[in-house]
Amino acid sequence: MKDAISRLAIFRLVPAHMLTQAIEIAMTPFEVGSGETLLVEGESDDSLMVVLSGTLEVLIDDIPIAMLGPGELVGDMALFSRDPRRTASVVTRESCSLVLIEKTGIEALRAHRNALVPILETQALRTIGKRLRSMDEAITDLAHGTELEPPGSPASEGLFSRLKGLFGGTREGPGERVTPKPWEVLKSSPAFRNMEPEELTAIAELMTLRQLEIGEVLLREGEHGRDAYVLATGQMDVYRTTRSLGYEKVAEMKPGSFFGLVSMVHGSVRTASCVAGADTWVLCLPEEAWKQIGEQGTPESEGLRRALYDSLSDQLHNANHHVAYLKKHLAGGEVGPREREHFARLLEHTL
- Cα 109 to the chain's mean position, in Å? 25
Residue 215 pLDDT: 87
- Measured in degrees and rounded to the nearest 5, phi and psi for residue 225 equal -175, 135
Q: How far is CA 25 from CA 3, 86, 104, 140, in A?
A: 17, 25, 10, 44
Domain boundaries along the sequence of the chain: 2-114, 140-350
Q: Which of 93, 155, 91, 117 is nearest to 26 (CA)?
A: 117
What are the C-alpha distances in Å from 174 to residues 110, 165, 231, 238, 339? 49, 16, 18, 22, 39
Query: Superfamily for 140-350?
Result: Jelly Rolls (2.60.120.10)
**Dist CA 189 CA 177 (whole Å):** 21
Residue partners of 157: CB distance under 8 A and separation at least 6: 151
pLDDT values of the chain reduced to their tens digit, one per residue, 351 residues: 778 888 888 888 899 999 999 999 999 999 999 999 999 988 888 888 999 999 999 988 888 888 999 988 898 876 777 777 788 899 999 999 999 999 899 999 989 999 998 888 888 877 777 777 776 666 555 554 444 344 344 433 444 345 445 444 444 444 446 899 999 999 999 888 888 898 899 899 989 999 999 988 899 888 888 899 999 999 998 887 655 555 667 678 889 999 888 888 777 778 778 899 899 999 999 988 887 776 677 888 888 888 887 787 777 777 776 667 666 765 555 545 554 454 444 443 444
The correct CATH number of 2-114 out of 3.90.1150.180, 2.40.30.10, 2.60.120.10, 1.10.357.10 is 2.60.120.10
Which pLDDT does position 326 carry in this prediction? 63
Query: CA-to-CA distance for 133 and 262, rounded, in angstroms?
Result: 8
For 272-298, b where at least 16 C-beta lie within 10 A, e where not — what string? Answer: bbbbbbebbbbbbbebebbeebbbeee
What per-residue confidence (pLDDT) applies to 70? 92
- Radius of gyration, alpha carbons of the chain: 22
2-114 and 140-350 have identical folds: yes
Please write down the long-range contacts of 118-122, taking CB distance under 8 Å and 24 or more positions apart.
118/295, 118/296, 118/297, 118/301, 118/302, 118/305, 119/10, 119/13, 119/14, 119/295, 120/10, 120/48, 120/73, 120/76, 121/80, 121/302, 121/305, 121/309, 122/294, 122/295, 122/305
- Report how far residue 239's alpha carbon sits from residue 249's, in angstroms, rounded to the nearest whole number: 4
